Amino acid sequence: MNPNPIDQTRLSVAAIAASLIQSLEDSNPGLTERFVKNLEAKYQEIRDYEVVHTGTLETLKWTRDFLKS
């Protein structure tokens, strides 16, 4: 089974974003916590949109999951 290239791209974006935030945490303590809080707020905002944005929500969730692991 070939992986869906769109899913692979979204997963890559989530991994890169999480890696960047984790790297910046070294010079900016508390950044990860603030970022996750903002990420969760955006997730809630987008979830409440009239149109369903499943891919976007999935990417935000993956990013959060990477940062929480």
64 in Cβ contact with 39 (< 8 Å): yes
- How many CB atoms lie under 10 A from the CB of residue 14? 20
64 close to 37: Cβ distance less than 8 angstroms: no
Quick one: pLDDT band at residue 5, thresholds 50, 70, 90? confident
pLDDT digits over 25-63, tens only?
Answer: 999 999 999 999 999 999 999 999 999 999 999 999 999
Domain that holds residue 54: 5-68
Question: For the chain, what is the domain count?
Answer: 1
